[in-house]
Amino acid sequence: MALSSSFKSLMTEQLAPLGSVEIRPMFGGAAVRLDGNTFGLIDDDVLYFKVDATTLVKFEAEDMPPFTYQSKNGPMTMAGYRRAPDRLFDEPDEFLVWARAAIAVAQRTSKPKKPPKAKPAAAGRRAKPPK
C-alpha cells in the first residue's frame, strides 16, 4: 500500500465537508476514518469505500473491484471495500454522497467498544484504613 502526499491532499480537500476526517497511515497505505469508524482505505493512490449489501449494488453496477492486496500467502481480497469510481473525483457532490454511504456502512458495522477492564488491586498491598 502506498499513499502520495498529493493524493492525501486531494482526499483531505474532497472529504473536508464531512467534518474531521482522518487519513492515517496503515500498512504503507492509509485508513480513512470519521468519528473512529474506518469508511475507506487508500492503496497506491486508489480510494476504496466500505460497502455492505445495501451499497454493493452501486459499485457492482460500475464494475468496481474489491480491495485486493498481496500477502506472503498470495493475493488477499477484502470484499467489504470496493474501489471508488474515478469519475467521482470530478463530481464533488456525488463523491460526498458515496462517502456518506460508506460512513453509514462503517457506523452500522462497527463493533461496540468494550469498556476497559478494571485493574486488579496490587497483590500484597492493602489500603490503609482511614484514621
Q: Sketch the domain layout of the chain as residue ranges.
A: 5-109
Q: What is the DSSP letter of 115?
A: P
Q: Bigger pLDDT: 127 or 35?
A: 35
Q: How many CB atoms lie within 10 A of CB 78?
A: 13
> What are the cell numbers at 104?
453509514
pLDDT tens for each residue of 103-127: 999 999 876 655 566 666 555 556 6
pTM: 0.81
Partners of residue 32 on adjacent β-strands: 23, 40
Fold category of 5-109 in CATH: Yope Regulator; Chain: A, (3.30.1460)
Whose cell is 463530481? That residue is 91
